[in-house]
Copies of this chain bind each other. A is one copy, B any other.
Amino acid sequence: MYRTKTCGELRLTNAGESVTLAGWVQRVRKMGAMTFVDLRDRYGITQLVFNEETNAELCAAANKLGREFVIQVEGTVNERYSKNKNIPTGDIEIIASKLNILNESEIPPFTIEDNTDGGDDIRMKYRYLDLRRTAVRKNLELRHRMCIEVRNYLSNLGFLEVETPMLIGSTPEGARDFVVPSRMNPGQFYALPQSPQTLKQLLMVSGFDRYFQIVKCFRDEDLRADRQPEFTQIDCEMSFVTQEDIIQTFEGMAKHLFKTLRGVEFDQPFLRLPWAEAMRRFGSDKPDMRFGMEFVELDDILKTGSFPVFDNAAYIGGICAPGCAVYTRKQLDQLTDFVKRPQIGAKGLVYARVQDDGTVKSSVDKFYDQTILQQLKEKMQANPGDLILILSGDDAMKTRKQLCELRLEMGERLGLRDKNKFALLWVTEFPMFEWSDEEQRLMAMHHPFTHPMDEDIHLLDTDPAAVRADAYDMVCNGVEVGGGSIRIHDPQLQEKMFEILGFTPEKAQEQFGFLMNAFKYGAPPHGGLAYGLDRWVSIFAGLDSIRDCIAFPKNNSGRDVMLDAPSAIDQKQLDELCLNLNVKE
């Protein structure tokens, strides 16, 4: 070892000890005859002292050290005269007696500090330097600890981690696959898994009973913000279980993680909201429950025949923003602009201020008298000083989603979305299918292996759109962190499902034959779920983006700018794979 101690472990009790440290030069300060060097490693920062009067040569060498030089130092632990209460090693310093430069460094392109001067692009290009920053490294340390906790928790419950293959077959259903040409099978391709869904179901057929895997998954999607082409899933499956068993098991895991990693304890079971209720009350299947501001439906009060916009609406809903009656005209215009943005798509925003005297002043005063407005106030349970915000539209679901965006915006503005507060719930009873305008058919909302709720199976023939699924999502702070379902284990029901989804028997056999065949040999009832690890870590770490909990992330074009990947390959490689490029200039 090049060191006897790390830069994070020395304390006052070590005073007088001879030690050897190694690390990076964080900064050098010359103060008169003394030179102070902050030496950094993963474990902390320790101050080194060089004294020109006792060892001029050594001190001169220290004065020549540049930022990020890698050095090895021998010295004696000494109590500091002026202690630094901000760091655990702040009580001591090392009186250096020997200095060995292990490697020099050019001046880094940005400062290696928590608040760096480096922009996003340069930090990504020099990610290996960015990762030296404590703030970034801490996220990866958290990720490591979370994985250790997840593995030990599940292993103690009898779950086996089984590695499923990365080179599998391509299935056009679902998102786009990344494919891998096979040299040994010319003209044929593997696909990288979007998830090990079918493989984990096969493991249930194999009697593995309880499976999990922390596993890389791949989706070749056009990358929106905060999506990565490769991401990591905590993938789980259990046999002989009902939805209740799965919820109990993984709620237990979530609570364990919050307790061990964040010191947060939940003494109550997580709320469970049926999907329809979540949509009605919050306009979202992943409501942020850190704050209230629930939707109030206002059709009964506001459809008076006086305001055609409302009279003709399929849905009128409002939220009450406490204390916001003071909002200026400008602020209200901003909110109107916000809901009218194309991503949200509302036509306009109606507001009503509850004034100090209890009267209501609204943007639609010419259509409603104070009696109606007082009824509105009552129904909204609004108090003096509150601001009522109302959206309407001719598609109830769309309008709810618009109102959801407004609610989240108001939550943000009111500071109600505190990153150190965690509100978890289960959303259940998802619709089995959703209509695709593009494909002109019903699509599986979850995936084609999802089991319908038993009480709705009779509707599969008569009203499939009304069938609810035995599916569930875990939601934290408005983010879906995990989701899953009970799976179909009955080959006939699976065939029926493919039929409803528009698969011919041949196509179903071609794409999922291996699974349907497996189901002929005694498939147990089973179900499971998958957590998005990147998202889960980012919530625990209080990050805005999943990027900062990934060591080497890709940018929005799917590029690794540090490695400069993807890139062109040799003609020889293409020839071996029997491929020609067909790139239009």
Q: Tell me the A residues contacting B by CB distance below 8 Å.
A: 1-3, 22-24, 40-43, 68-70, 72, 102-106, 108, 126-129, 131-132, 137, 140-141, 143-144, 147-148, 151-152, 155, 160-170, 172, 176-192, 199, 202-203, 205-209, 216, 218, 220, 222-223, 229-230, 232, 240-242, 245, 489-490, 513-514, 518-525, 550-552, 554, 557-560, 562-570, 573, 575-584
Contacts and interface: CB of A to CB of B under 8 A. Distances in A.
A179 B141 CA distance: 31
A579 B581 contact: yes
Q: Is the interface of A mostly helix, strand, loop or mixed?
A: loop
Contacts of A143: 162-163
Nearest to A161: B144
A485 to B, nearest CB: 17
Contacts of A230: 165-167
B170 A567 contact: yes
A533 B127 CA distance: 29
A524 B569 contact: no
Given A105-B520, A240-B3, A581-B578, A566 B167 contact: yes
A462 to B, nearest CB: 26
A106 B520 contact: yes
A573 B579 CA distance: 14
A568 B1 contact: no
Contacts of A562: 202, 514
B168 A560 contact: yes
A563 B42 contact: no
A168 B563 contact: yes
B565 A108 contact: no
A163 B486 CA distance: 30
A231 B488 CA distance: 31
A557 B147 contact: no
B190 A566 contact: yes
A584 B206 CA distance: 40
Contact of A240 (B1, B209, B521, B563): B1
Contact of A137 (B42, B208, B220, B523): B208
A42 to B, nearest CB: 4
Contact of A167 (B2, B147, B169, B560): B560
Contacts of A166: 166, 192, 216, 218, 230
Given A22-B524, A163-B550, A170-B569, 14 more contacts: A1-B242, A24-B524, A42-B209, A127-B202, A144-B155, A144-B161, A151-B151, A167-B554, A168-B563, A170-B573, A187-B568, A188-B566, A202-B552, A578-B581
